[in-house]
Amino acid sequence: MSNVSVDATESAHNENQPENNTRRRFLTVATSVVGGVGAVGAAVPFIASWNPSAKAKAAGADVEVDISGIEPGQLIRVMWRSKPVWIVRRTPEILEQLGNHEGELKDPNSEAEQQPVFAQNRFRSLKEEYLILVGICTHLGCSPQHLKGGAFEEIVEGVPDGFFCPCHGSKFDMAGRVFQNVPAPLNLVVPPYQFVDDATVIIGSEAEAV
């Protein structure tokens, strides 16, 4: 609307064109400068509000993960707070294994306080099917290997699947529980997390207690 209005005024005052042109140039410049100031004024709050968000990300904002594509037995890795986090979809066979070697573990019920309360049990997870762990050895911080389909039996007889840290030989089962007689003192850490729905998990925060 305003552009149409300016055009009509120009055709009605052609005789004053040089003066109007001068005024228009001034208005154009004045508008641009104001616009520029406005843009700077708008940019400062935007940057100010963006910076904390960037800092929060560096410090470790929550990470949302789509788990719908994880195959049974598969492990995927995501990064959270600059740490690798593993999400494993455990099969019924893997879950069954967990009850077979608890006498060989240092802390089978995860009584050491280094994970959410929901992880203080055999499965160490909110849903038995999904194991979520910080993938860092609790000895000196190496990243253990996932050995599956019988490969872990070369490390612990009778246990087909598990995690092995080659740095100094620590061994963990498919709940991240550490075996006895290895240098790692504690089970692998379970991070705080919550399920938004069957296909989505958020790493970094737990659901509020109801």
Closest separation in Å from C-beta 168 to ligand FES: 3
Max Cα–Cα distance, the chain, nearest Å: 102
Instruction: Name the minimum Å distance from CB 103 to ligand FES.
Output: 21
CA 10 – CA 120 distance, rounded (Å): 80
- We find the least distance from the C-beta atom of residue 101 to ligand FES, in angstroms, to be 19
Neighbouring C-alpha atoms within 13 Å toward the C-beta of 126 = 19
Partners of 66 in the β-ladder: 200
Residue with smaller CB distance to ligand FES, 62 or 104:
104
Q: Which is nearer to ligand FES, 65 or 134 (CB)?
A: 134
Cβ 147 to ligand FES shortest distance, Å? 14
Q: How many residues comprise the chain?
A: 210
State the residues that interact with ligand FES by CB under 6 A: 137, 139-142, 165, 167-170, 183-184
61 or 182: CB nearest ligand FES: 182
Contact in structure between 61 and 82 (CB atoms under 8 Å): no
Q: Whose Cβ is closer to ligand FES: residue 108's or residue 135's?
A: 135
- Give the number of C-alpha atoms closer than 13 A to the C-alpha of residue 132, restricted to the C-beta side: 28
